[in-house]
Amino acid sequence: MSKFNPQVIVPLPLPLPVFHMLLSLSAGERHGYALKREILERTKGKLNLAAGALYGSINKMLDLGLIEESDERPDRHLDDERRRYYRITSLGKQTVEAEARRIRELAEQAEICLNLPEPA
């Protein structure tokens, strides 16, 4: 069994949109629409978040302390002042890492149980 950090108090499994948003924010700060576009690209169009799911998940992650709003902004001429930028917190990073380990373990167990060939 894996050893999850006992300080991570967010229940796993994470909802898929939350997992993907935390993955994106692990690479740096993003605004909501940038998260949507990046997830759509990474999943090859399989996960297309509607505004309600996107901003509902953002609000849930803010409430749980997985992300926080950033005070830093790009140059005014390069950005829309209405955008809010988000960054991952240390709890968010621990949580997404724990979820990635959990998913990897599930995939390994499935490979063994189903006698799947090694990936090429």
Specify the pTM.
0.84
Mean pLDDT for the chain? 88
The H or E element that residue 88 is part of is: strand 85-88
Domain carrying residue 69: 16-114
Is residue 120 domain-resident? Answer: no
Is residue 36 domain-resident? Answer: yes
Is residue 1 domain-resident? Answer: no
CATH number at residue 75: 1.10.10.10
Is residue 89 domain-resident? Answer: yes
> Could you tell me which residues come within 8 angstroms of residue 73 by beta carbon, excluding any fewer than 6 positions away?
79, 81, 85
pLDDT at 4: 44
Verify cis geometry, omega within 30 degrees of 0, for the bond prior to 13: yes
Is residue 46 domain-resident? Answer: yes
pLDDT at 85: 93
Is residue 21 domain-resident? Answer: yes
How far, in Å, CA of 48 to CA of 40, rounded? 5
Domain count, the chain: 1
Q: Which amino acid is at 76?
A: R
Q: How confident is the model over 39-58, as a mean pLDDT?
A: 97
Answer yes or no: are the C-beta atoms of 66 and 15 closer than 8 Å: no
